[in-house]
């Protein structure tokens, strides 16, 4: 009996050592809470319409799906309806998290609110300048692609949130804005297409993804972050 108990103990010890080296395969990635990834954005970050149209469900947002892929704590600082003006006002909520990585996703609500592109750029420039202190990696997500533009042109305008066609017609201005911000700020990376295989396919309402769409969107973000995550052992 003693010999059998000792054998079980040895097996247990081997399992513990093995788990420490290879991780536990329980369907999710282990999380190092000392490193933080902040997702800073509007309704597309918050998880609007993931499960119920126009309602926020952060548990099915892209940051929630991204959390399953990375070995660091993911904080969802998405606020539905946020413009870059509002984002600039709450920049301290990001700094308070002391993040290693920040994904910045804003702009669509500025157009819906008829905020001039020059003002949007000024606000994003200020946000990036504050966050880009040399201690963290920054990513800036573009909120549309050509497919989105064509889809917006096909939708009837909604006076409550502004004109879809107005957003579509400003694409060139926003392209120039994002390129200028990338050129100005050393080290920041643009995420060009968060909407591939999502827009018009996996939608919770006319302008927000459903849960399946947010999961695909998380994959796009993950692919953009992958080189930095791998280099810094955050996988």
- Structural domains of the chain, with CATH: 30-231 (3.40.50.1110)
d(CA 26, CA 166): 47
End-to-end CA distance of the chain: 43
Please tell me what DSSP assigns to residue 157.
P
E strand map for the chain:
36-41, 73-78, 101-105, 137-141, 189-191, 203-205, 208-209
pLDDT on residue 61: 98
Global confidence as pTM: 0.83
| pLDDT per residue as tens, the chain (235 positions) | 444 344 444 334 333 333 333 333 334 456 667 799 999 999 999 999 999 999 999 999 999 999 999 999 999 999 999 999 999 999 999 999 999 999 999 998 998 788 999 999 999 999 999 999 988 999 999 988 787 788 777 777 666 555 677 777 888 999 999 999 999 999 899 999 999 999 989 999 988 999 999 999 999 999 999 999 999 999 9
d(CA 47, CA 101): 20
């Amino acid at each position: 009996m003693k010999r059998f108990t000792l054998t079980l103990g040895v097996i247990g010890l081997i399992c513990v050592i093995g788990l420490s080296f290879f991780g536990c395969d329980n369907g999710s990635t282990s999380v190092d809470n000392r490193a933080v990834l902040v997702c800073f954005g509007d309704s597309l970050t918050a998880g609007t319409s993931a499960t119920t149209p126009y309602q926020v469900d952060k548990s099915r947002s892209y940051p929630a799906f991204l959390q399953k892929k990375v070995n660091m704590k993911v904080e969802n600082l998405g606020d539905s309806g946020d413009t870059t003006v509002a984002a600039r006002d709450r920049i301290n909520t990001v700094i308070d998290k002391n993040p290693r990585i920040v994904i910045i996703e804003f702009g669509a609500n500025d157009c819906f609110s008829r905020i001039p592109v020059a003002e949007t750029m000024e606000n994003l420039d200020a946000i990036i300048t504050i966050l880009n202190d040399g201690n963290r990696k920054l990513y800036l997500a573009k909120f549309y692609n050509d497919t989105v533009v064509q889809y917006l042109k096909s939708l009837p305008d909604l006076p409550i949130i502004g004109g879809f066609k107005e957003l579509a017609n400003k694409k060139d201005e926003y392209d120039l804005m994002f390129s200028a911000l990338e050129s100005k700020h050393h080290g920041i990376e643009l995420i060009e297409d968060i909407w591939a295989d999502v827009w018009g396919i996996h939608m919770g309402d006319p302008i927000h993804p459903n849960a399946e769409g947010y999961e695909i969107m998380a994959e796009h973000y993950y692919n953009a972050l992958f080189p930095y995550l791998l280099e810094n052992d955050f996988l």
